[in-house]
Amino acid sequence: AMKEIGNADRQMTGRWLNNRAENSHQPFRRRERAMTRFRRLRSLQKFAVVHSSVFNHFNSERSLSSRQIFKQNRAAALIEWRGLCMA
C-alpha cells in the first residue's frame, strides 16, 4: 500500500525505530493497568484524587538536591502529614 501511494521511501523500518513511540506510552499503560483493579469508576476517581495528593506531597526528586536538603524536606512533609492525619 505504501508503494502504491508513493510513500514507501518515507517509511523507516528497523529494530529500534519504534522505541520512541512505545516509551512515550508507558505512563499511560501504567495508569491503565492500575485502573483495571477497580470495579467502579467512582472508586477509581476517589483513589486517584487522594493518591495524587499524597504522591505529590512526598515525591521529591532526590537527584535535584543534596542529601541534607532532601532529608529536611522529607521530614517536613512527614510532620505535615502526621498533623493532617491527627486532625
Which are the contacts of 70, defined by CB distance < 8 A and separation ≥ 6?
60, 62
Q: How far apart are CA 44 and CA 57, in angstroms?
A: 20
Q: What is the pTM of this model?
A: 0.41
Name the residue range of residue 38's domain: 19-86
pLDDT in tens, 18-56: 677 677 777 767 777 777 788 888 888 888 888 877 777
**Residue 11: what pLDDT?**
65
**Residue 51: what pLDDT?**
80
Q: Compare 77 and 14 and report the one with higher pLDDT.
A: 77
Residue 1 lies in a domain: no
Residue 9 lies in a domain: no
Residue 3 lies in a domain: no
Residue 64 lies in a domain: yes
Continuous H helices in 1-87: 19-24, 26-35, 41-58, 67-86
- Please answer whether residues 73 and 65 qualify as being in contact, where contact means their C-beta atoms are separated by less than 8 angstroms: yes
Domains contained in the chain, number: 1
**Residue 82: what pLDDT?**
87
**Given a cut of 80, is residue 69 above it in pLDDT?**
yes
